[in-house]
Amino acid sequence: MGPGHPHLQTGRTTLARLAFSAGIFGLNFLVQGLGGLWTGSLGLVSDSLENLNDSVVNLLAMGAISIANKREPCDRYAYGWHRLEVFHTLLGVGLLVALAAGILAEAWHRLHEPVHIHIGWAIAFSAVGLLLNLAATYVLLPPKGTRMAGDLNLRSAYLHALSDSLANVAVMLSMVVIRFTGWKWIDPALAILIVLVILRGAFLLLRSAAAILMHRAAFDHEAAKVNLLKLPGVMGVEDLRSWKICSHLTVATAHVLVEAERLEETEGHLKDIERLLSEHYGVRHLTVHFETSAMADRHHHKFIHRHEAEGVEGSIHNSEHKHDHGL
């Protein structure tokens, strides 16, 4: 990828947003963590640990983006190191689950043995935390209509900051309820609710990362085929495949039947196909195999992969493409 690659151009903005927000989250961890330990509020402590996680995850994301932007594609790594984003996301999920387990254990203990809480100070510390989380949310809000709006790093960090802000509101409301009712169990109960929010976020991140690793289709293939068949000279689309290298890089391949007999006649078709898939489906790298009617009649493109087979069955342009492993 050359210096004009769109991710390299937006990556610096993403890095700046992640760096600024990581500093805010780190400060918030200290404010709410120390405040929670001093006031006795587990809700504050749980939210501070979430802020610590957000700061660490953002720093990991910055490292992944920096390395990916410096590593050009090569023969060994065809798409560079952009998939580091996925591995850093998985690490972030692990941290979230570990923090959630610790908070659940302490919440269970406090449900049975409530502790005294300095309610007024707890509200004050939570209010400061709310202001810091709202600042981080504003910094991380991806601009609409840009590639950053789909960036997994920014999206996950933004959702974390937003959920932290809601948690601060919940902590303050719980302190008010405790003040007028004396129900100290509300504080650990709220901590459990915050943990459930944390675990839901972890599940969504895990699902997004797993989809990339499993090469789930990056867009609706049936809709794309309908649009491709509307292009002049395109008679058929077979074996359309798409996948994401990371949240910002979509790759696609396809066999396209066109009204052409010579290679030079396909240049116009290629430009039309590239433009459509880029503008409507965000495809950044496309490989097209053009075919004439005569070529298409000799084979089709069903993909079969059997691990238990003894070897490759048939040739690549036989009735079916077959890729078998001998064990």
What's the pLDDT score for residue 4? Answer: 40
Over 80: is that where the pLDDT of 180 sits?
A: yes
Do residues 188 and 241 make contact, with C-beta atoms less than 8 angstroms apart?
A: no
What is the rounded CA–CA span in Å between residue 16 and residue 27?
17
Percent of the chain with pLDDT over 90: 13
Domains of the chain, by residue range, sit at 6-213, 221-324
42-46, 116-120, 301-305, 310-314, range with the lowest pLDDT: 310-314
Helix axis angle, 42-70 to 119-140, nearest 10°: 20
Cα-Cα-Cα-Cα torsion 53, 59, 63, 69, nearest 10 degrees, comes to 110
CATH class, range 221-324: alpha beta
Equal CATH topology for 6-213 and 221-324: no
pLDDT in tens, 198-207: 787 778 778 8
pLDDT in tens, 125-153: 989 989 998 888 888 776 665 555 556 56
Q: How far is CA 268 from CA 231, 232, 265, 274, in A?
A: 11, 10, 7, 10
Instruction: Provide the token pair at 223.
Output: 């809709």
What's the pLDDT score for residue 159? Answer: 73
Q: Which CATH number fits domain 6-213: 3.40.980.10, 3.90.76.10, 3.90.660.10, 1.20.1510.10?
A: 1.20.1510.10
What is the rounded CA–CA span in Å between residue 26 and residue 49?
10
Give the side-chain half-sphere CA count within 13 A for 87. 9
